[in-house]
A and B are shown apart, each in its own frame.
Chain A
Amino acid sequence: MEVKTNQFGVYTQALQNFSSRKQEPEWMLQLRLDALEKIEALELPVIERVKYNRWPLVVAPQLKAEQPALAAPIAKWVKDDPEAVRVVQTGNQTVVEQLPEHLKEKGVIFTDIFTALQTVPELVQEAYMQQAVKVDENKMTAFHTAFMTSGLFLYVPKNVVVSEPFEAIFIQNSEVTDSFMKHVLVLAETHSQFSYVEKYVTAGNEKNAANIIVEVIAKPGSKVKFSAVDQLGVQTTTYFNRRGHLEKDATIDWAIGVMNEGNVIADFDSDLVGDGSHSEFKAVSISTGSQIQGIDTRVTNYGRHSVGHILQHGVILDRATLTFNGIGHILKGGVGADAQQESRILMLSDKARGDANPILLIDENDVTAGHAASVGRVDPEQMYYLMSRGISKEEAERLVIRGFLGAVISAIPIKASRQELIDTIERKLSHDSE
């Protein structure tokens, strides 16, 4: 007989109730309960050079009743645009779903994850925590699977090319005390092509945990442009996991602005499973105040002639910490694979702490791989040059940094989101207080 010492066991009944209230399929409940059992024994994921085992990340969400609706008007974060292909979620609720008729007719699905679990359960079941991220990878993935309380499902069918960007806006409800357990599942069918932009913000000032997993399954020949502007609040402690699973000749271009105010552990991975698959990953980040952001970016080349490139640029102010780990792993069999990475950090204060660690693991001979990493200050020659044209020190610094972070800005397909990232960068740089 099994002896249960699992402290999470007490949530079994609550999860059953939650799942039945959401009318989830039986397999989903089973997945949750299996994961629940595993949490206790699994370890936290290792993020090199970042110690976060004492962070309040493993905090179960409220399951008993629906979370109260957000009191704050969403207009602050969402500019009304009837043309936009858009989903807006406040807390656990989906409050806007805009998908034009012509896309619906083509079979595109862009909806709340619980809706998808009812309307297209087999599509969700095939991919959800199965192909990209696995339930029992670590404590955070199991915890997520057990306690996911909100999410989004995007499905683009075979050969469908969508020119309008899909836009998802997630507003964490921290008017209440409740963990933010968000799942985004993006399924790009064979030879589909589209771009997707997501943004995370926080409303309210309660201290909360966030656990966000984003899975992008790119089927053969599909092309996905994925961009994000993360701006979770100072009181939010976040575990972020974005993972691409790329099949033959699939491409994902990632452009991520990691602009949160609170402590963040992020794991951004691309599994280049198929031959000829290609991931271009670009991330920019700013750490301010006393916040810690630790970002692990990994590309694993399984497929022959697969290409994985990583570019990470970060800026640190005040007493903040920013760590970039770039991991390029070419497995045996990945003949002709290419793994390149560049991680650079600019420190704008004496008390800033920055780390850029390139890690290359290569198990195949016939490959190309390379890395560049640096942690330093704004180049005084660049400053001198700009100032010699009459530009003030502050403005010169702003220009150099804007340029340094520009790689992600230009990759964002929605003008308003691009501007939002620029504004966020300016805001973070200008509250250079301490």
Chain B
Amino acid sequence: MSVLEVKDLHVSIEGKEILKGVDLTMKTNEIHAIMGPNGTGKSTLAAAIMGHPSFEVTQGEVLLDGVNVLELAVDERARAGLFLAVQYPSEIAGVTNAEFMRAAINARREDDDKISVLKFIKKLDEKMSILDMPEEMAERYLNEGFSGGEKKRNEILQLLMIEPTFAILDEIDSGLDIDALQVVSKGVNAMRGEGFGALIITHYQRLLNYITPDVVHIMMDGRVVKTGGAELAKRLEEEGYKGLSEELGLQITIEE
């Protein structure tokens, strides 16, 4: 079993404090959800854990099985077992999707143990069929000219190919129709199990109908303000963020 602990995390961007002390602990074999109004710092949390260069951690730590990943370079964090599916992945012309994913897999292997082309293609075919992705997507340039939905699927495809210990999925549901949502959820559910944990960031409860979370965290104004079970998401759906913030006695303006 692996553990990911976020402890008193403070993060600033351009001198402005966005995260004001986030605490959160998750284990493999668990699915956590983070919900919260727009602009509350959910993506900032995800980016800071992964190590995006624009975000400055001013306090706190992120421990993966006791190791502070904040001291590791981005690629080292990934190889240590972290994965982040982002809302707006980069497009890289001239590099095929397949070439990129093979490089990502091989980055985790020793020089004398690179994945064979045959094994790689077999795995890729298998994962792409889970996600209903046409074969030609493998030979297209990485995210170049992909529709919003194709990019999301491609992020989940990478998740299935790389098989990380902990995945953070940042608004993987936004802009998806119901069919696509089901496909993407199928991909995430396929990863569920002993060696895997996920942190699902979402604005809406909708996604959680397909991927049932074990734990739900509500984030507001740069902090986790409430943690509960799957029922918390349902309550939120009924009461809205406003109702919850009033109940908690928080002085927060919320635009919904």
Contacts and interface: CB of A to CB of B under 8 A. Distances in A.
Are A and B subunits of one complex? yes
Interface of A: 379-382, 384-393, 395-396, 399-400, 402-407
B50 A388 contact: yes
A195 B104 CA distance: 36
A392 B78 CA distance: 10
A384 B52 contact: yes
Interface in B116-141: 141
Interface string B72-83: 011101110001
Contact of A393 (B50, B73, B100): B73
A393 B89 CA distance: 18
A384 B53 contact: yes
A389 B93 contact: no
24 contacts: A379-B90, A382-B90, A382-B92, A384-B90, A385-B92, A386-B90, A386-B92, A386-B100, A387-B75, A388-B77, A389-B83, A389-B104, A389-B158, A390-B108, A391-B104, A391-B107, A392-B75, A399-B95, A399-B100, A403-B92, A403-B94, A406-B93, A406-B94, A406-B95
Given A390-B79, A403-B95, A406-B94, A380 B53 contact: yes
A432 B105 CA distance: 26
Contacts of A390: 75, 78-79, 104, 107-108, 162
B103 interface: yes
Kindly list the 8 A-B residue pairs having the minimum CB-CB distance in the complex, ordered from nearest: A403-B94, A406-B94, A390-B78, A403-B95, A385-B90, A389-B104, A387-B75, A387-B74
Contacts of B99: 399
Q: Which of A380, A396, A403 has the most CB of B within 10 A?
A: A403
Contacts of A381: 90
Contacts of B84: 388
A385 B95 CA distance: 13
A399 B103 contact: yes
A408 to B, nearest CB: 10
A404 B103 contact: no
A399 B74 CA distance: 17
Q: Which of A384, A392, A402, A405 has the most CB of B within 10 A?
A: A384
Contacts of A396: 75
Given A392-B75, A403-B141, 5 more contacts: A382-B90, A390-B104, A399-B99, A400-B92, A403-B94
Interface string B27-56: 000000000000000000000001111000
A399 B104 CA distance: 11
Contacts of A402: 94-95
Q: Which of B77, B78, B99, B108 has the most CB of A within 10 A?
A: B78
Contacts of B93: 403-404, 406
Given A388-B50, A399-B100, A403-B141, A393 B75 contact: yes
B74 A388 contact: yes
A287 B75 CA distance: 28
A35 B22 CA distance: 79
Contacts of B142: 403
A299 to B, nearest CB: 23
Given A391-B104, A395-B107, A400 B95 contact: yes
A90 to B, nearest CB: 34
A407 B158 CA distance: 25
A384 B94 contact: no
Contacts of A393: 73, 75
A282 to B, nearest CB: 12
A403 B158 CA distance: 19
Contacts of B79: 390
A396 B99 CA distance: 12
Given A387-B78, A390-B78, A407 B107 contact: no
A379 B77 CA distance: 20
Nearest to B164: A390
A278 B126 CA distance: 43
A46 B207 CA distance: 63
Contacts of B52: 384
Nearest to B105: A390
A405 B94 contact: yes
A402 to B, nearest CB: 7
Contact of A384 (B74, B103, B104): B74
Contacts of A405: 94
A379 B93 CA distance: 12
A379 B94 CA distance: 14
Contacts of B78: 387-391
Q: Which of A387, A396, A400, A407 has the most CB of B within 10 A?
A: A387
Contacts of A395: 103, 107
Interface string B136-167: 00000110000000000000001000100000
Contacts of B86: 385
Contacts of A403: 92-95, 141-142
B73 A387 contact: yes
A399 B99 CA distance: 9
B92 A399 contact: yes
Contacts of A388: 50-51, 74-75, 77-78, 83-84
Nearest to B107: A390
Interface in B98-113: 99-100, 103-104, 107-108
A389 B159 CA distance: 9
A389 B90 CA distance: 12
Nearest to A405: B94
B88 to A, nearest CB: 9
Contacts of A380: 53
A382 B100 CA distance: 12
A255 to B, nearest CB: 14
Nearest to A392: B75
B104 A385 contact: no
A385 B51 CA distance: 10
Nearest to A396: B75
Contacts of A386: 90, 92, 100, 103
Nearest to A401: B94
A209 B251 CA distance: 77
B89 A385 contact: yes
Nearest to A380: B53
Contacts of B141: 403
A404 B95 CA distance: 8
